[in-house]
A and B are shown apart, each in its own frame.
Chain A
């Protein structure tokens, strides 16, 4: 048991590491930097940003002295090789020393002019950090759950703050929707499987086909049109955290139904499939032969087995709900995690994007582990120690 959980946790860490690495390099290899905005920033301001977001490093003076010749360098355009000289630095009464590039790359800003007096430790130039060094810094931070500061807020807010604000909203939306899907889907599937080929079964299956074929980006606007615009019963969007409770609840109804409805048919079909298998099993025949009532048979003998497919779906299903919530959050203008993923990704806000990816992946990996444990509890034939 503990070995199983330990092993799973270990593989989860590996998965998270692979994901972070993948996202990190995907974003860094993209052309352009997050600071490429419509208006060009002065090199000194931009250099500050590079330093603040831990993407740049300084070249400092080793000794007090005077700057000699400087190379003609256009910031962010001239590509230099490792060991190229940026200029020379002449200490008091000594020979001129070259200022060297520590690695390949461009220069973000050159902070000194020829003939200027500098002290030891003064910044001569700012250059981008090597990728691997940025990566190691980042991974070190993530291990301490420090995701850095968001670039779009200009360093005003940390990623963790944003996540703390948005994550509960998305979790609520996803959780309620899953609950809605299970509350509606499981009974429907049970009845439908118990009475296979009855009119009730056909109705459930027809509705489930409807649910599968109408994606949230269609059902969401339709529900808004009907219940918010035409009837005016519910608000068309937002996710207010205000009292009275009823008002907050009103804002949750439509999004939860929209997202949940997409998964009701999936749950119903899986439960029905599980039920069909159980109904034909030997132990059910035995239970009937004992003369138990239908209700008891379902409750005591059929339910557990019929739920197995649904439970094993929960893992991947939650990944689906997470993805689906992106659309629902956008339709209903809910300030959840999705809002904090698509827009930052378009703006190259690396820390925010990676923060969201890590949090989502971590939640899903953890939930998958819970689902696996639940599975062994429901089906005694499955043993995790084996």
Chain B
């Protein structure tokens, strides 16, 4: 059954059809939630809330990109949670090391083909990137995650965010400049990334 048919069935209240859509999009939604929230547990909660919210409001889906519609719902769910946290700050439950970084990385990040050194670098890169993302204002963060991590184009990002194309462009540029500044201290830890840059330049 294709996506449109599943959406139609889900609109009629068929949970099974909707769950097939969930399985197809849960990685994407979870990634968006994790990059927005910067925490695994919070990302899980936001993902689950987003799917529940999507099912409840699927009758309002008027066609277009279902992927974009889901990304909008999960991004809004993250906005809500982040704003709620600003009003009521709480201490994180994850164990942190001396530098306030999470000690354990989840097992599903690991790539069995990697050497221990590569894995360490990769984990460090991931942590560095996430730390830098966490420092961005929410509006910039959402756009850079959509365009660079979810790899959607400017037009679709504008639809997801309900923003003009020009705003997407400027927010993306500002986010990239801030991330560049934030990642300056990690350049030497990113040999693979450097190699890629050198290859593209050559």
Query: Do chains A and B interact in one complex?
Result: no
Chain B interface (Cβ < 8 Å from any Cβ of A): none
